[in-house]
Amino acid sequence: MVTHQGIAMARITRELSATEVEKSKSGDKPKHLFDGKGLFLLVTPKGAKWWRFKYRFNGKTKTISFGTYPEVSLADAREKRNAARKKIAAGIDPGEVKKAQKAAAFALTENSFEIIAREWHTKFSSSWSPCHADTTIGRLLLDVFPVLGPRPIAEIKAPELLAMLRRIESRGALETAHRVRTICGQVFRYAIATGRAERDTAADLKGALPPYKKSHLAAITDPKGVAPLLRAIDGYQGSFVVKSALQLAPLVFVRPGELRQAEWAEIDLDAAEWNIPAERMKMKQPHLVPLSKQAVAILQELKALTGNSRYLFPSGRSFARPMSNNAINAALRRMGFDKDEMTGHGFRAMARTILDEVLQVRPDFIEHQLAHAVRDPNGRAYNRTAHLAERKKMMQTWADYLDKLKSGAKVISLQHQGE
């Protein structure tokens, strides 16, 4: 004879079948389908099916989840239950183990190289030039994140970092490989400072890459070569905006990024001055560029076209962006000057060489106008208006000299000076 107690015990200890689990339906209230030894399937009114494990530990009743069906099958749920029961028998709370595992997984995700690198970039890029900020994140996106991005930064070892750098080197970009190693080192050091890494793995690779020789940017510095360049610029058949930038470049000899991102708000045509704010300068100091009569004339003509734009030299696609950082070099190539002959940065070397060796201008005036780190006899950095009268005279003398070269005035090659 079967007692009522026996029927109840049979109901509790009977195991579920795979068919019962699959065909279980939702109702108005949550349903509990018991499999035995603490495991049950919770079917919610919305039809979701959750595996739950109920157990007692240190006198307290607890429940943990094993996931949802069908992602976790009946057999999988039983396996998880058996593993949890073994932990309980060994005096280990499976719920606390799960919490620790979840916290560890979260920590690994939050401490991935990409998360920390983006955090570092956001924190410091506001003090960089826009060009440098864009270049830095671009190198991370192209070469580093696809390989090391998901990895916990504290687990990245020197061999895997070197393997990533070797891939960059293999495409003929050795200088970029060195620069990427430097960027990675900055990220590692930021992780150390914020308590998420213990060592700079990039520092372990010092000497691991072949050295590269930094080449000087090509420039025409002999007056005999400058004259045809200036005439070619005046005859440029491309965009008027690019032509204006080309014409202004030798007159102001600022860095290419400073030129292409020039804003009308910085230009005072009445005072014949261009005031570049500190945040756009390499040395992070405001810079004043005296404008010659020739430079003012170029800007007055340009203003009729781009004066409603933020930028002097807006992109051909949108007035909201400056022209491409390759626009000047592309125009020089179009005019027949290859990369080993002349670059946009070369106008600086041109001015520095000829102002010094031909026009005999004081070197400190030249260096200050180039926005180099010039200091006074007491070691203080010159301010933006230092020697302003002399620099204004120098810039006008320089512009007049370039006009004479264009018009065909007789010039002596630097190779023959002093003979």
Instruction: Indicate which residues carry an active-site annotation.
Output: 255, 282, 345, 348, 372, 382
CA 326 to CA 346: how far, in whole Å? 14
Burial 301-310 (b: 16+ CB within 10 A, else e): ebbeebeebe
φ and ψ at residue 377, rounded to 5 degrees: -60, -20
> If you search the block for the tokens 């002349």, which residue do you land on?
342
Return the CA Rg of the chain.
Answer: 35
CA 343 to CA 338: how far, in whole Å? 8
CB 295 within 8 A of CB 303: no
Q: Which tokens in the block code for residue 14?
A: 């009977």
Given strand 39-43, what is the order of strands in its sheet?
A: 31-36, 39-43, 49-57, 60-68
CA-to-CA dists, residue 367 to 83, 289, 349, 385, angstroms? 74, 13, 11, 14
CB 41 within 8 A of CB 54: no
The DSSP secondary structure of 353-412, one letter per residue, reads HHHHHTS---HHHHHHHTT---B-TTSPBP-TTTTHHHHHHHHHHHHHHHHHHHTT----
Other Cβ atoms closer than 10 A to 311:
19
Dihedral angle at the C-alpha atoms of 246, 252, 256, 258, nearest 10 degrees?
A: -130
Other Cβ atoms closer than 10 A to 418:
7
Contact partners, residue 95, CB within 8 Å, separation at least 6: 57, 62, 64
The sign one gets for the Cα dihedral 416, 335, 311, 277 is: negative
CA-to-CA dists, residue 250 to 253, 291, 359, angstroms? 5, 12, 15
CA-to-CA dists, residue 344 to 21, 41, 204, 253, angstroms? 72, 71, 37, 9
Which region, left, alpha or beta, applies to residue 324 given φ > 0 means left and ψ of -120 to 50 means alpha? beta
